[in-house]
Structure 1
Amino acid sequence: MMVLAIDSLFTGLSVLANRPEGVAYWLTRAFIAKSFMPAIWLCFSLTYSRGEYREFLARWKILLGVFGLAPVGVLLSGPGQMLQLMPLETPVGVWTLQSGVMAKALSGVLLVAHVLILTNLEQTFRAAVGTMRWRIKFVFVALAVIFGTRIYVQGQAILFSAPDLALSGVESASLLIGCVFLVLAYLRTGWAEIDVYPSLTVLRTSMTAIVVGGYLLVVGVLANLVSRFGGAEIFQYQAFVVLLGLAGLAVLLLSDRFRQRVQAFAVRHFGRAQHDSVRIWTLFSQRLANVRDQASLCAVSVRLISETFGVLSVTAWLLDEVKDQLTLDASTARQAAGVAGGDSPNAASRSVMAGLRTRSSPFNLEEVNEPWAEELRQLNSTSFPNGGQRWCVPLRAGERNLGALVLADRVNGVGYTVEELELLKCIGDHVTSVLLNLRLADEVVRARELEAFRTMSAFFVHDLKNAASSLNLMLKNLPVHFDDPAFRADALRGVGNTVTRIDDMIARLSALRQRSGFKPVDADLNQLVSEALDGLGPVSSVELTRALQTLPGIMADREQIRSVVTNLVLNARDALGSSGWIHVRTECQGERVVLSVADNGCGMSPAFLKESLFRPFHSTKPKGLGIGLFQARAIVQAHGGSVQVESEPGKGTTFQVTLPAKDGQ
């Protein structure tokens, strides 16, 4: 406000100057004062009554920096870059002022900055509801008058390429009117602010942008008329009257009492219903489309009720099922639980919840003479002595009570009609159904998380089971082949490999939060197969043969492909019983490499192959987890490959794993 006052002072001195040089001198000082406005007032518009103003400042920091350079540009410009005195041919001795390059640029910057300032203030005002909007209404009107007028004046300066001293009084008049509204705002609420949370994105339906765009379109036509026929000298008086009328109209349009009286007049004289139910449900459905959690549902609900019934204080209390008590989730009068700055209690005792369980429809809270009702009244105190009675709408689904909506401070203290109470009950029932669906969806998400944890645990246990099976084979053969140095060397190497695999599994489990998917590297499938078979060690009473042909390289997660090979061979061994053979083969087929693991074991039935083979927790083995093949196929598919199976009961099974070659990817 100090910058605005200095600007008005310098502009007034320019009007009083007797010589053209004095006029140019004081207008140049006024331009310097104006250059400080964009950064200061844009910063104010981003922080005034906003709970998350730091996020807005971070998003706008580049533009704030650009506007902050405006004073530097003005101060560095030469005297001729701001204003130029041009003598007229006739009459002699008369001079005219023309805007220089820097003055034109500054006028454009000021015009853009003023539009952005009003857009941000509008966004804050539209995000506020109920009592919150009532508190900041006059501040918004004051700044709209001040900066709306300056948009008009800057538009004139750009159109005529010269400052019009005839309009200097318009800016002063707007500042005077704005100060009057600021005094009214102070008398109403002091300098206390509120915290609203407008969207981080720019509103596509900003009335500021629409009005300014329309103004700039029309003012070009008016400028041509003025330049042709004259009359600019009477603009300041006309503009003053228009500004005063617009300010009064804005106050009326923003008045809750005025809107309610207009609505009552229409109901009384035109006989229509009090509320347009189709419009209400359409608006409610549109707003609920973006609801994803309880907090956003409550915010949408209290705002709709406040706008529909003209209630300044609407509060949503939801049941905390762990503590069995009500907690504040959203309100048009004060901040919800968990938001810093709220002085009122944000939770009710269990007795309030017990009392609400006996209610199923909207009821007058003032008429209930019980301790729990008194506590609820204290939690929902009124802000206006003539705001009428407080009403409570229970959120009840069958025998399950989920919370309540409390309405207070209705405009003019008007009572609720039977029609309105029925509409309130319908809105409460709809809020309850959506709230119940959200809670059920949250339970489903938790169940899926538990199932995912169960599957992950099964994967981990299955890998440990494979490692334990490898060690078990070595222990069975150890008494028989202990004197063989080659066997002991193989056994030590197998134990070392198994320990390394267990360490890798633990590391993968520890890094599960940071790791997603697999980490492919250049690999040789034959080498991975050999490492997996060597890690198993000798398999007694089983003839294990391998036929590894020359293959192109692949992109694979080495540890995961080794686990696939290990799983297939161990499954084949379990299918053999006391004796049999296992044949491991690799080959190249076009642009893909193929791994085959065949055995002559018991085989599988067609029904099991079709319905249960790759399903988790389904196994033909008594002690099997039923997770190995499910995990193996998931790994292969993640590598862009596939798994085919051929099996016949009593004759054996062949698993064929196909992976893309490196050159064929």
Structure 2
Amino acid sequence: MTQIVTFSYLVAAVGFLLLGAMWLTSWRSHYHRGILSAACLLTAGWAATVGYQSHADIPLSMAADVLEILRNATWSFFLVVLLGRHRSPYSRLPLGLSNKVAAAASCYALFLAATLYGWWGGHLFEEFGILSSMTIRVGVAVFGMLLVEQVYRNKPEQERWAIKFACLGIGGMFAYDFYMYSDALLFRQINSDIWAARGAVNAVTVPLIAISMARSASWNTELALSRRVMFHSAALFGSALYLLAMGMAGYFLRFFGGSWGTLMQAAFLFAALLLLVGILFSGTFRSWLKVFISKHFYTYNYDYREEWLRFTRTLSEPGPGLGPRAIQAIANLVESPGGALWLRSDPGQYEPAAHWHMPAQEYCEDAGSPFCRYLEQSQWVIDLREAARAPEKYPGLVLPDWLEQQARAWLVVPMMMHGSLLGFVVLQQSRSPVNLNWEVIDLLKIAGVQGASYLAQQEAADALIVARQFESFNRMSTFVVHDLKNLVSQLSLMVVNAEKHRNNPEFQRDMLETVELSVEKMKLMLQKLGRSANAEKAGPLAIGDVVKQAISDKRGFEPHPVLRIRSPNLMVLADRERLERVLGHLVQNAIEATPRDGKVTIEVTRRGGHALVSIQDTGVGMDEEFIRERLFKPFESTKAAGMGIGAFESREYIQELGGRLEISSTPQIGTTFDVILPLHRVQVAQAEPRAVRLEDSLDSE
């Protein structure tokens, strides 16, 4: 068995050594050369170490474990590099690593640290045993297979042929490790036969990887680690190293602590864990780590795509509170914990409009003050500490007293809109030192302009809402005037006929009833003016009764309208007053357009799931152009005293109820208005009513 193990691992060592040397000395320049060569040479060194120790019949040393850890880490890093800049169809990130890659890199950093921790734990603590070590190694193997799957699936079809053999080879190594360590985890020891075949299995993968290396010209990828990946990976890896160090310290406390050792170890480890949680949840530490990574690992301080997406997302969140969100979006760019916003008001001064993680402010600044003029003319971001230390860098700047009294005030960011100062933001001192170079200052300027545009848009939207409220009020007033005009017309007609029919008792009764109806309508009108438009509530109505009431108001006109209810008890959902006014207007228009010897007929019937009110007259009629161009246009009327809104209001309300208004007219012959309204849903669900006998229909004048 010893000879078999030696031969198996030495074959793998020779194969990977030749593969790594061939790739390292290749004349072809390639971005992946160093990573792939390192992975091959580390695998060769690991296999040679295991083969030599097996041949010498000595237990595996720490060197073999460390080389195995480095081998897995390098192959995994090579897979992360292959993921590269390609946009995955499952990812929403167009550049850099996808979300899945970011999770892979961050989690693998934790796995690598956990492997180191488990390896040291297996040597330092007997209670770890084979279970902890094998569990971690199984996890690393599983994650390696997941990376292989991600690499192959996220590549386009034209690139898969170049990397498929490498995926097979590397995935095969991780799959065999998963099989071997899972078996060891199940039986509490490594199977010697599986262990012996491991070297040969790794050697079989050499030709597969070599084929992909020959096709490496089509590896159209390059690594682009985002700041988010670096931040989380550094935090996870640092946490694992911290836990490893604390675990070693706890071991020595237990070893040298005597009878108190166990207590000291438990208390120390618990305190160390609490300290780690406190550090990881500390905003100051997170800010320091972000600034450190941006300063030492990247050319620019910001990943502008991510920063701008976050900035825009913060401003675009639905709901109120745009002011605090604007402060937050600007403050996050420089790791500031809070700030306050001043906006220009109508009286010509800047008033506190919002605050975020900062006490509410009471100080106002006049728009014509030197401070505001300086901000508007220079459009500079003011560093208050620098202005106090070196005022010559801000010539002409006069800080207001209330601003100098702000203990933690740090930056003043102007919010410009079309060259004028809409407002400004005062930010508190950042959690970690931030170098205010040209890049940071320019980003703050742009953020101020963008925030000002959102705030100006909100102000415009609020102004539009107020204007629409006034428009609604004016429109209601117009309708009130229109109703008053109709009442005046009725009363005027009554006054004209009073001289002729003053001694007629029937006329006197009609006159009294007309006056009573007019007074009642005026009272209803006053009630409407005293409540909001939302007070109108729709309810089930018998359309026949509404039409009867609308016609009864016109009994003093000639020709007298005739009502025929073909389908009684039809129910619709509407506001009674408004629907009666709409139908009354259409009836009155028909009467006014018809000579005294003509006819105006109103029929109520059912058409499927709708109620139909047909208003027919034998009047002057209308042509198609008038109906199309002028009939429903507000404030246009052919009448001398007309308002031109009756037909418009009628059509709008009928459509609001889910119905429609149909017109058919022929000049000098007559016009028909068909009001079609949906029946109340309770009535629609019932069966069709039985036909009403002709003698049951109502004719009224």
Fold equivalence (TM over 0.5): yes
Give 1:276's aligned residue. 303
Is residue 309 from structure 1 mapped to residue 327 from structure 2 by the alignment?
no
Matched-pair contact (CA < 8 Å) for 2:415–2:449: yes
For residue 651 of structure 1, the aligned residue among 634, 657, 669 is: 669
* Offset of residue 287 of structure 1: 1.8
Is residue 329 from structure 1 mapped to residue 356 from structure 2 by the alignment?
no
Matched-pair contact (CA < 8 Å) for 2:416–2:422: yes
Q: Distance in 1 between matches of 2:561 and 2:278?
A: 92
Percent of aligned pairs sharing the same letter: 28
Give 1:49's aligned residue. none
Count of residues paired in the alignment: 416
* Offset of residue 625 of structure 1: 1.8
* Offset of residue 466 of structure 1: 1.9
Output the amino acid matched with 2:588. L
Is residue 348 from structure 1 mapped to residue 372 from structure 2 by the alignment?
no
Q: Distance in 1 between matches of 2:265 and 2:452?
A: 55
Give 1:619's aligned residue. 637
* Offset of residue 257 of structure 1: 5.7
Q: Report matched runs for 1:497-646 at 5 Å.
A: 497-512=517-532, 515-521=535-541, 523=542, 525=544, 527-539=545-557, 542-556=558-572, 557-576=575-594, 580-589=598-607, 592-646=610-664
Counterpart of 1:623 in 2: which secondary structure? coil
For residue 401 of structure 2, the aligned residue among 353, 375, 388 is: 375
Counterpart of 2:539 in 1: which secondary structure? coil
* Offset of residue 469 of structure 1: 1.8
Matched-pair contact (CA < 8 Å) for 2:315–2:451: no
Matched-pair contact (CA < 8 Å) for 1:524–1:553: yes
For residue 423 of structure 1, the aligned residue among 421, 443, 454 is: 443
Counterpart of 1:625 in 2: which secondary structure? coil
Matched-pair contact (CA < 8 Å) for 2:551–2:561: no
Matched-pair contact (CA < 8 Å) for 2:546–2:580: yes
Output the amino acid matched with 2:567. L
Q: Distance in 2 between matches of 1:476 and 1:534?
A: 20
Give the stretch that moved more between structures: 463-472 or 257-266.
257-266
* Offset of residue 508 of structure 1: 2.9
Output the amino acid matched with 1:348. E
Q: Distance in 2 between matches of 1:532 and 1:466?
A: 13
Q: Distance in 2 between matches of 1:285 and 1:449?
A: 30
* Offset of residue 640 of structure 1: 4.7
* Offset of residue 659 of structure 1: 3.8
Output the amino acid matched with 1:553. N
Give 1:359's aligned residue. 378
Give 1:472's aligned residue. 492
Inter-CA distance 603–407: structure 2 relative to 1 (3 Å threshold): same
* Offset of residue 464 of structure 1: 2.2
- Give the alignment's TM-score, normalised by structure 2: 0.54
Give the stretch that moved more between structures: 396-405 or 323-332.
323-332
Matched-pair contact (CA < 8 Å) for 1:326–1:349: yes
Q: Distance in 1 between matches of 2:415 and 2:296?
A: 35
Q: Distance in 2 between matches of 1:308 and 1:489?
A: 81
Q: Distance in 1 between matches of 2:562 and 2:366?
A: 73
Q: Distance in 2 between matches of 1:538 and 1:334?
A: 72
Output the amino acid matched with 2:276. L
Output the amino acid matched with 1:546. V
Q: Distance in 1 between matches of 2:577 and 2:282?
A: 70
Matched-pair contact (CA < 8 Å) for 1:603–1:649: yes
Give the stretch that moved more between structures: 390-399 or 596-605.
596-605
* Offset of residue 356 of structure 1: 3.3
Inter-CA distance 399–283: structure 2 relative to 1 (3 Å threshold): closer
Output the amino acid matched with 2:399. A
* Long gaps (5+) in structure 2: 1-235, 237-259, 686-701
Counterpart of 1:647 in 2: which secondary structure? strand
Matched-pair contact (CA < 8 Å) for 2:374–2:397: no
* Offset of residue 484 of structure 1: 0.7
Q: Distance in 2 between matches of 1:259 and 1:588?
A: 72
Counterpart of 2:404 in 1: which secondary structure? helix
Matched-pair contact (CA < 8 Å) for 2:334–2:434: no
Inter-CA distance 316–548: structure 2 relative to 1 (3 Å threshold): same
Matched-pair contact (CA < 8 Å) for 2:566–2:603: no
Q: Distance in 2 between matches of 1:656 and 1:584?
A: 10
- Supply the RMSD in Å over aligned alpha carbons: 3.3
Counterpart of 1:327 in 2: which secondary structure? strand
Q: Distance in 2 between matches of 1:415 and 1:645?
A: 74
Which deviations, in whole Å up to 9, do the C-alpha atoms of 1:496-523 show, x marking residues without a partner? 11111221222233233661442334x2
Inter-CA distance 511–262: structure 2 relative to 1 (3 Å threshold): closer
Inter-CA distance 251–496: structure 2 relative to 1 (3 Å threshold): same
* Offset of residue 396 of structure 1: 0.9
